[in-house]
Structure 1
Amino acid sequence: MPYQVTIQPSGHHFQVAAHESVLDAALREKGSVLPYGCRNGACGSCMGTILSGEVVYPNDKPPGISEREQAEGKALLCQVQPRSDLVIEAREVKAGQNLPVKTLPCRVERRELLAPDVMRLYLKLPNIERLQFLAGQYLDILLADGRRRSFSLANPPHADEWLELHIRRVPGGFFTDYVFNKMKDKALLRFQGPLGTFFLREDSPRPIILIGGGTGFAPLKGMLEHAFHIGLDRPLHLYWGARAKADLYLDELPRRWAEQHPQFRYTPVLSEPRPEDDWEGGTGWVHEAVTHDYPDLSGHEVYMSGPPLMIDAAKVAFADRGLPVEQLFYDSFEFASH
């Protein structure tokens, strides 16, 4: 029998089947969208609080939720299944609720090696198709054996002649090995998208801090190019964390933005600069550079994308600096090798 789920504080409600995740059921609804990212329990973007009712994870506790969070009544809505009617406290996202998720073929129009381990792909859709998406969302490349690989869209919605992906080589990675060693220009792929609720919220007056780790720069690039395109005049400060200078694979681009847009600032941070880098910029962990520059984050909005370790450390540090959870948006990059 289906169970009824009510979302607070909006009061929206919908039906969930006994062996269906709360998120899967919510995605069928027209009224709102629950935040989500990876949809495999790793990133924590879909976390909500169970106010009443019983839930269960079909498998082991997902990695994206801690024992402490679970003890506080929180749950990952992309994985958890109901065992009774539920009342859940969760943020809802209204922008993008009418964007259709499509499964489309595409052609690899061009490949560009941006760094020894980062490849930029330009994907061309059939002439009769365009993908409507929000800056910061991602798509899933659909592999022949049913596996999926998720990549953020690095281009803004208004520049959609090609879809731009930044793909980092994963040691032993099934798909990335193909991209770097076997893929040819004009190769054919299939994808599903747009996906995710990591996108720029345009209806707030707060200044924005954006933090990217490695190829986490990709969705932030799309967000910033969109912000410049629409004339967003809120202060924008991009922090980009990488190991060495070569890993800032498009460093000249944000430097050019800083010259062209007075509301934009750029702070690159290297954790392991090499002697040949001759680096005079910030060093250490990128989230610590943010807390050093912004001891009080209560009046800001923060967007961050990158590896889970960066995201998890930043969430704690930013909460200690007064950042409300509803002003934090993030996309945690999990890399699959199999």
Structure 2
Amino acid sequence: MRWTHRPEGSNWGDFGADDELGRLNLLTADKVLQGVAEVREGRSFCLSLPLDYPGGNALNRLRHPPRRFTSGRGDKLNYNFELHRMNPDFTDVVSDDAVLLYTQYSTQWDALSHVGGLFDADGDGVPEPLYYNGWKAGEHICGPAGHEDALEGVNAARLGIEKMAETAVSGRAVLIDLERHCGRERVLVDYARLQQIMQADGVVVEPGDMVCLYTGFADVILEMAREPDAQRLASSCAVLDGRDPALLQWITDSGLSVLIADNYAVEAYPAREGEGCCAALPLHEHCLFKLGIHLGELWYLTELAQALRQLGRQRFMLTAPPLRLPGAVGSPVSPVALI
């Protein structure tokens, strides 16, 4: 056994000693059928930003836009390559390309190996770096030894994003329309405010539902046309207050399977000041580390939210598998909503 006791408020072991899916286990066949039942209009929505948005690195200085390129083909490039150069009888013109992609630059999923915590799981009095369900940093989630080999040896042998992809991530989803009530003002939404909004709109979240938060933040990003202003981004749109214990308890009690937003980090970052030793990203710690809840960030929810407003609905069918990229701690995603 990797641990003898688990973090307070966690569900480690509830889905099995070696579980790597967390609350995705609640995304059952019944939840898929419930999602299918929400498809009544025959309309579909792309929930991804263009993957070269937000542009620059004002949101996160460590993440950069995709860089596209092509390979060589003899003394030419393999782009607009005329195959008659190889055989005069060929009429084909061929283009291939490649991309250097930061997996969490734009519309994304966080794997459970993205954020862990320091916790004394074996009772020896020394906190150690761990991830969900006690999988260990350096043993199960491995990184490079230093800058000189930063491109090698990076691999989440456990909790990699491919585990999520294998489930197909399909089922019923619920949209909570924060933008409708908060506008584009920068406000911290705690449990009380969230419940007020949900009750006003008749939103009900049941175990296994995928929850999406529409704040309007992705709209602000698109308006900046790949030239984001860091100050404006930091002062725009509603975010969850990850320091509110009642909000974190609601996430636990609701049984939601995944938590998604159109903003950066889902929660306020930086979080408001905490007491004593605490996580910089408390909602990430609660979801990824303690409960095994995958987080979706920077989704494009605008057109879906507008359609649901017009119909007086909140539920829809969502299919959102990440790239099946073994060992990755995050992934771009092109989610599809159906109503």
Q: Could you say which TM-score interval applies, normalised by the shorter chain? A: under 0.3
Q: Which has the higher strand share?
A: 1
**Structure label with greater radius of gyration:** 2
